[in-house]
Amino acid sequence: MQRYVYAFGKGTADGNSSMKEILGGKGANLAEMARIGLPVPPGFTISTEVCRDFYANNRNYPDGVWEQVDEALAALESQSGKSFGAGKSPLLLSVRSGAAISMPGMMDTVLNLGLNPEVAEGLIETTGNARFVWDLYRRLINMFGDVVMGVDHSHFEAALDRAKEEAGVDLDTELSAEQLKAVTARYLEIYSEHTGEEFPTDPRDQLKKAIDAVFQSWETERAVTYRKIHKITGLLGTAVNVQTMVYGNMGETSGTGVAFTRDPSTGENVFYGEFLMNAQGEDVVAGIRTPRPISELGGELEGCNRELLEVRDILEKHYKEVQDLEFTIENGTFYILQTRTGKRTAFAAVRIAVEMAEEGMIDKNEALMRVDPAQLDQLLHPMFDPKADRSPIAQGLAASPGAAVGRAVFTADDAEEWVAKGEKVLLVRAETSPEDIGGMHAANGILTSRGGMTSHAAVVARGMGKPCVAGCGMLQIDGAAKVVRVDGSDATFAEGDWVSIDGSSGEVMIGKVPTIAPQLGGAVETLLGWADEVRRMKVRTNADTPEDSVRARSFGAQGIGLCRTEHMFFGDDRIPAVREMILANDETGRRRALETLLPMQRSDFEGIFTAMGGLPVTIRLLDPPLHEFLPHDDEAQQEMADRMGLTLAQVKDKVESLSEFNPMLGHRGCRLGITYPEIYDMQVRAIGEAAVNATKAGVKVLPEIMIPLIGTDVELGILRERAVAVMEAVFAESQTVDYMVGTMIEIPRAALTADAVAKYADFFSFGTNDLTQMAFGYSRDDSGSFLPFYVEQKILVEDPFVSLDIVGVGQLVRMGVELGRKTRPNLKVGICGEHGGDPASIQFCHEVGLDYVSCSPFRVPIARLAAAQATLRDDL
């Protein structure tokens, strides 16, 4: 006969904490606590397998369940010398649900099962405490009615309120025995009114109905929805815990409470909790009376407090983890009713892991595995005060974490102007483009109505560590009138209005929501230091300016994996020269313009080399389509015409001739390098000269020249040869510096032919943003209109621009590494797409043998920890 019921009692239990799957979390821990001798009221757990079989069998219980329940009940009776729902000292029971994963939405607890009028009389006689007994009884009817029979709790609540009012008291504890007896009678009426039947007086009937209700609750809509939202799959069902009642409501030496073994919000090693005297069940959390801090328990019941502190110590040492526990004191006797792993904030998680390792409770590797790398994000940005009131008016993508508050402006220029005048602004745009960089930099945060997680706004914001909510499609942005309307609501805001965005949740609020500073502390540094000792992969950063480089270094970056040069072309002092270069009709014209740019680029690189002294810096040569740099309005076109001695019409023609239907797949990247070789020549020369200058100044430099958008080995062969020639020419003028030439692998064809490409590459860097875009054929900037739907409908498990699509795009990466290293065994390989900061993608990078990941400065700490965890998983 299959076993369905597992007992737990004084010092023994059939189950233990490893049996969560069949006993549920609560049942497994009750068994474990009984086993190690803690004062757990005896009881038994009906396994999750019953739940599974019940549903597999058209809601019929498997054979033998009720017999096993009867046996377990008989054993409880004989051990306690009490009878269930009979006699002068009756056994009463609680029935509680509990699946392997704790899950609100499951059935609530029913306490005090086994009471009927006769039993109540007997219990009054033995305890001499009528008030206590009627309190139990009215609670039973309320809970059974609500939880088992679906009678709305508010009916009972209203009757209790009326009784208190009539008695002229505020608290339930102030009601006398007689008054509670009357409440009980009223509750029985309410019960019959709403159920059309009498409240069951047969204790076994009560018990059976309660157990049945728990199993039935597994498939209620609310439970099913919860599991769906939280992606909980693969559970057998819920277990049912039936347990001897202990009474916290017997008077002033009784009570109940909840506690955490350490402070779950700061992580500090202090006992943290609350209790209520003369209370039962969930009075503490239900807010019926204001609970008191746990530190005051000693003043009430010194012995019990001592016992509680001992239990705290025992549980934490036993589980080697912070515990969230529930206890009840019955007439001065202490009982423990539940323990489970305590939920905690990101900051507490880090501090607890580090301190537990320092205390010797766990080892450093365990500490590293305990912290979810993604959680670290919370620690690196200012956030909204969790206590603050917020009523979001719209929801977009949580594109770059952190809280931002500012006055709405609608153009990048306005952002810069307002900030120059001392204002704080939030840049609100349909989408952003490279020309908006200045305004984005000036703004406190960025809000867009279009684009996905790797849209320009999102990528650049993350790089800058600026909060961003992107793709907020419900915003109707009227850029001309400078107002925003929200679909489906009458909320609006206009230029100058205060707006708050939460880049960690995607919420948009009108007004100023208060913020709190990031809580970076010693514990984070310590943990990351341990991560550095463990991890195999290096962590670099994507940074375009000396300031970003310095910040990334302070977060622990070991080099730059992607320095984009196009942003360097945008400053007011540069863009005219860039435009002149593009608009020039011949090579001579282009060269003249490039001459102006050369010293500027050189000093950019010197700045970055200096900031990253001694660490490698990968510089990507010009990548975006030329049209992004072109003057599009009359005024700018006229300025270029004047500058170059052309007519406005001539400039317009030229701009027209350069326009493309699909610029992202057009004349960009190495294709430009091939057709206008002078551009890359200038950039390479700037790199070479900057490297020489820095070296002369005593700074060690390791430049890596990266050629973007290679599709064939021939392209790279040509461009490598040119780059080497320019570098040799620079060195011939002064001295030699070590450098590398490599390529980005971001076009599927390059990955597929990586053995050939590697002939000309000292390194590969997987540009997984473009690789994903091209492998899927999804435009990064337009996928916002369908990707969320795809994810919701489970057509895709996740947004492939957020977490690398291992099955598909990952194949290209794996193949690229393998083929590349076949040609060049010492080929250095990294990743510089946004995925370089995503823990699941980092795990994959580790598995396929990448040498480093590169990510935005603010994600460097996340990557350090994720890379360490990946290394530790090698030994699992």
- Distance of closest approach, residue 111 Cβ to ligand ADP, in angstroms: 6
Q: Which is nearer to ligand ADP, 250 or 622 (CB)?
A: 250
Pick one of Mg ion, ligand ADP, none as the site partner of residue 111 (Cβ within 5 to 8 A by kind). ligand ADP
Q: Pattern 36-75, binding to ligand ADP, x per CB under 6 A?
A: -----x----------------------------------
Q: Residue 397 touches which of Mg ion, ligand ADP, none (CB < 5 to 8 A by kind)?
A: none
In 581-630, beta strands by DSSP E: 616-620
- Closer residue to ligand ADP (CB): 239 or 812: 239
**Which residues are 97's β-sheet partners?**
240
770 binds, among Mg ion, ligand ADP, none (CB under 5 to 8 A by kind): Mg ion
Query: Does residue 281 belong to the site contacting ligand ADP (CB under 6 A)?
Result: yes
Indicate the residue among 689 and 799 with the shorter CB distance to Mg ion. 799
Query: How far is residue 40's CA from residue 33's CA, in Å, rounded to a whole number?
Result: 7
CA–CA distances in Å: residue 402 to residues 14, 437, 503, 541? 48, 19, 5, 19
User: What angle separates helix 713-733 from helix 677-696, to the nearest 10 degrees?
Assistant: 40
Return the one option of Mg ion, ligand ADP, none that residue 49 interacts with (CB less than 5 to 8 A, by type). Answer: none
574 and 656 in contact (C-beta within 8 Å)? no
DSSP 91: B
143 binds ligand ADP (CB under 6 A): no
Partner from Mg ion, ligand ADP, none contacting 691, C-beta within 5 to 8 A by type: none
* Helix, coil or strand: residue 223: helix
Helices of type H across 808-859 = 809-823, 839-847
**Helix/strand number for the chain, H first, E second:** 34, 32
Q: Which of residues 303-332 bind ligand ADP (CB under 6 A)?
A: 326, 328
Catalytic annotation present for 832: yes
Least distance in Å: CB of 345 to ligand ADP?
Answer: 20
Find the DSSP H helices in 659-779. 670-675, 677-696, 713-733, 748-752, 754-757, 768-776
Residue 484's SS3 state is strand
338 binds ligand ADP (CB under 6 A): yes
Query: Residue 477 belongs to what H/E stretch?
Result: strand 475-478
Residues 702, 618: Cα–Cα separation, whole Å = 8
Q: Is 456 a catalytic residue?
A: yes
Residue from 681, 688, 686, 676 nearest 589 by CA:
676
Distance of alpha carbon 117 from alpha carbon 128, whole angstroms: 16
Work out whether 379 is an interface residue with ligand ADP (CB under 6 A).
no
Q: Name which position in 548, 746, 781, 838 contacts Mg ion (CB under 5 A).
A: 746
Site for ligand ADP in 509-548 (CB under 6 A): none
3-state secondary structure of 75: helix
Q: How far apart are CA 469 and CA 856, in angstroms?
A: 17
When CB distances are held under 5 to 8 angstroms depending on the partner's kind, the choice from ligand ADP, Mg ion, none that residue 506 binds is: none
- Which option in ligand ADP, Mg ion, none does residue 767 bind, with CB closer than 5 to 8 A by kind? Mg ion
Question: Per CB under 5 A, does 767 bind Mg ion?
Answer: yes
Q: How far is the CB of 41 from ligand ADP (least distance, A)?
A: 5
Q: How far is the CB of 400 from ligand ADP (least distance, A)?
A: 36
Put the strands of the sheet holding 323-330 in their side by side order: 292-293, 272-277, 255-260, 323-330, 333-341
Q: How many residues sit in the footprint of Mg ion (CB under 5 A)?
A: 5
Distance, CA of 337 to CA of 98 (rounded, Å): 13
Nearest approach, Cβ of 746 to Mg ion (angstroms)? 5
For ligand ADP, the closer CB: 143 or 850: 143
Give the Cα separation of 842 and 868 in Å (integer): 10
Window 78-107: residues binding ligand ADP (CB under 6 A): 94, 96
Judged by CB under 6 A, the stretch of 168-176, 239-247, 466-474, 533-541 that binds ligand ADP is 239-247
Angle (CA) 688-692-697 rounded to 5° is 145
Q: Which of 155, 381, 456, 567 is catalytic?
A: 456
What's the residue count for the chain? 876
**Residues paired with 323 in a beta bridge:** 341
Q: Which of 51, 563, 832, 845 is catalytic?
A: 832
- Minimum gap (Å) between residue 852 Cβ and ligand ADP: 45
Q: Which of 48, 243, 448, 773 binds ligand ADP (CB under 6 A)?
A: 243
Judged by beta carbon, residue 328 or residue 542, the one nearer ligand ADP is 328
Question: How far is 499 from 486, CA to CA, in rounded Å?
Answer: 13
Catalytic residue numbers read: 456, 832
Site for ligand ADP, rule CB under 6 A? 41, 94, 96, 109, 111, 243-246, 281-282, 326, 328, 337-338
